[in-house]
Amino acid sequence: MIDPTAIIEKGAQLGEGVRIGPYAYIGKDVVLGDRCEVMSHAVIEGRTTIGEGCRIFHHAVVGSIPQDLKYRGEEVELIIGKNNIIREFTLINPGTAGGGGKTVIGNGNLLMGYVHVAHDCKIGNGCILANAATLAGHVELGDFVVIGGMTPIHQFVRVGEYAMIAGASALSQDIPPYCLAEGNRARLRGLNLTGLRRRLGGKVIDELKRAYRQLFLSGRPLRESAAELADSPNEYVRKMARFVLETKRGIPLPRTME
């Protein structure tokens, strides 16, 4: 299952059923889980651990040193969970000492072609990053986030679970859970109703609609509205409100006039 032209350095740990394509490179500190597939010309290097069932497509580069001028060769890590799909020419960097030393990606994510995940990013489970989405350093994505193609995300931005960022946007502030954002610079446009309907019931969505109106459309001070909802009996409303209270980069509120 390993092509004779592939280069696998001594020390690399390969699980059962791993497939390595022509001219792929696997570094000495790499750990590949069971049933992973690394396709032709892909590069996996550094202290990179990849869970079972992942597929790394042609010419992807996974685990190369951070694109950070402060990096001085310290030992850092990239940890990728199970059943992820990493498509062609995607670049994923490990962490830096200043960011905790780890880039971490969860399970079941799809990273399409030419995606960049920079140093110290944290990505949850079930996320989709469309072609040429680019995450700067220290970006955090919750579970089931969708990032449209050609969308850059500024360093230290957080995107809450089930949120969606439309394609060709430019995101520089935090997006609360369950919300939809679009534009350059991206602003809130409402709830990600399509994503929510796939996973949550109608009653939950109705309560999120009321919370969204109170938080972002009432004209009241944002933190005041969030504080009122932070102890809501609805766990989804609580998450949205507490995300707002914890934001460091601010929330891009909807424009009242376009």
Give the angle 205-210-211 at the CA atoms, nearest 5°. Answer: 95
Q: Rounded distance, CA 233 to CA 94, Å?
A: 39
Q: Which residues contact 160 (CB under 8 A, 6 or more apart)?
A: 142, 145, 174, 175, 176, 177, 178, 179, 239, 240, 243
For 12, 212, 216, the CA distances from 247, given in Å and listed in that order, are 40, 16, 14
Residues with active-site annotation:
119-120, 137
Contact 167, 183 (CB under 8 A): no
